[in-house]
Copies of this chain bind each other. A is one copy, B any other.
Amino acid sequence: MKTINVGLIGLGTVGGGVVRILKEHHDDFVRDQDIDLRLVAVASRESEEADRLGVRDIFSFDGHDVIRHPEVDVVIELVGGTTVAKDFVFAALNAGKSVVTANKALIAACGHELMGLAASKGTEIAFEASVGGGIPIIGPLRHTLAGNRILSVVGIVNGTTNYMLTRMNEGALEYGEALREAQAQGFAEADPTADVEGLDAAAKIAILATIAFNTDVGLAEVATEGITGISPTDLGHAREMGYAIKLLAIAKRTAEGIDIRVHPAMLPLAHPLSSVNGVFNAIYVVGDSVGETMFFGEGAGAGAAASSVVGDLIEVGRHLAYRESITQPVWDTEGLPIRPIDELETSYYLRLPVPDRPGVLATTAQVFAEQGVSIYSMVQRGATDGTAELIYVTHTAKESAIRATLAGIEATGILTGPAVLIRVEGTKD
C-alpha cells in the first residue's frame, strides 16, 4: 500500500468537510482503495477553523507553504475565485503536484491553460466538485459515456435560483420575497448577483460543454440571463399551460456549432428536469447511443462538494500511487464553433402588459406578422383597473426575429410596463 500526502488550501465549509471525511474514513480508504491518504499541511486566512478541526499543528496562513511542503503530493484548492486561487493552482502544477479543485470560475476561465500546464508537467488537475456539487457528472461524461457523441447537456445547476423559483411557484412569492427567504435559509448570499444573474450557472455549463463537446468553451461565450424578471404571474401562466419555469443551463451540439446559454425557460411538466425542486440540482444528458440520462443530487452544501473533492483525491492519489503515466483528459480536440444566440430557434412565451382598449391586439399582432413570427397561442386577460395582459406563445422562431418583434412592439408605445420573454425548451414544434 502506498501513502499519498495531501495539502489543503482553504478551510471554509467544504474544506472542513474534506478534513472530516479524511479523518473519519481514513481507515476505510486504506482497506477499500489500498491508499493511505495523509493530510500533512493546511492553510487558511484564519486559524480558528484549524483549531476547531484539530489541524493547527499542520496549519499555515500562507497557501504557498502548502505547495512548497516537500512531502505534499496533491494540493486541494478550495479558496475559490480567480485571483489568489489561480496563483495557488498554477504554482502547484508548476511544482509538479497534482491538484484537486472545486473552483468553477477558475476552470471556466483557465481550463485549457491548466490542462496544458498539467500535461507538460506530467501531473493532473481534477475538478468534479466544480459542477453540481456532489453529483457525479464530470466522471460519467469522461468515462462511462465516452462511447457516445453527446448531443445535449441541460442542467439545473444553481441551487439558489432553483430554490427561489420553487418557492415562487409553490407559495406565489414575489421575486424579492423569495430572495429574502433564500437568504434567511442560508441558500443565497448577501450579494446574490452571481446566482440570480445566471453567472454561476454559466461557468458550470461552460465546463460541461467543454467536456461534452471536446471544445474549449469560455464563460464569455455563454449567453446569460438571470431570473430577476420572473414573477409568480409567469409561473402561474406556465403551470396552466403545462410547463415549469426553471433556470436552465443549456449546451447543444448543432450543425452550426455549439448552442450554449443560461436563461429561465419553460419546460414541459413531463420533462424529468421539471420535478427537480428546491436546492436540488440535476443534469440531463442525451447521447447518441445512451439516449436520455439524468444525474440528480445536492448541488450545494459542504458534504456534497466535499464528497466530490475526496472522490477526485482518491482517483488522483491512485494514479500517483499505482500507475506510471497519466493519460491526459480530453480538452478542445474538436474545437467546434459557438453558435450566436441570435441564431437560436425555439418557441417563445411573451407576456405584454397593455391598456385594455380596442386595437391593442391588432397592433401587437401586426408586429409579429411583420417579423414573420408565427403565433401558436394567444390569450388576453383583462384586469379591473383598465389594464390587460396579452400572453403570446410562438411557434419556432429565430431569436433575432423575436427580439425584433419585441423591439417593434415597444416602439409602438403601447406597453404599460416591461414585457416578459421566456424561451420554451423541450418541446417539438
Contact = CB atoms under 8 A, between A and B. Distances in A.
Interface of A: 17, 21, 25, 28-29, 31-34, 128, 134-136, 138-140, 143-149, 214, 272, 275, 287-298, 301, 303-304, 306-315, 318, 322-325, 327, 330, 333-334
A293 B296 contact: yes
Contacts of A304: 289-291
A297 B306 contact: no
B136 A136 contact: yes
Contacts of A148: 307
Contact of A134 (B17, B33, B289, B333): B289
B290 A298 contact: yes
A36 to B, nearest CB: 14
5 contacts: A32-B214, A136-B136, A292-B298, A293-B295, A293-B296
Given A139-B140, A294-B294, 18 more contacts: A17-B289, A28-B149, A31-B334, A33-B146, A135-B293, A136-B144, A144-B307, A144-B308, A145-B311, A147-B306, A147-B307, A147-B314, A290-B298, A291-B301, A292-B297, A294-B296, A295-B295, A323-B327
A333 B325 CA distance: 27
A275 B306 CA distance: 29
Nearest to A280: B292
Contact of A291 (B21, B34, B298): B298
Nearest to A311: B144
Central interface residue in A33, A289, A315, A330, by most chain B CB within 10 Å: A289
A403 to B, nearest CB: 35
A381 to B, nearest CB: 31
Nearest to A325: B322
Given A134-B289, A136-B136, A322-B327, A147 B311 contact: yes
Contacts of A327: 34, 318, 322-323
A32 B330 contact: yes
Contacts of A34: 327
A143 B33 CA distance: 10
Contacts of A306: 147, 289
Nearest to A276: B272
Contact of A293 (B21, B128, B134, B288): B134
A298 B298 CA distance: 22
Contacts of A128: 144
A124 to B, nearest CB: 13
Nearest to A274: B275
Contacts of A312: 144
Contacts of A323: 323-325, 327
Contact of A140 (B140, B288, B294): B140
B146 A136 contact: no
B293 A136 contact: yes
B303 A291 contact: yes
B296 A291 contact: no
Given A136-B136, A140-B136, A313-B147, A32 B289 contact: no
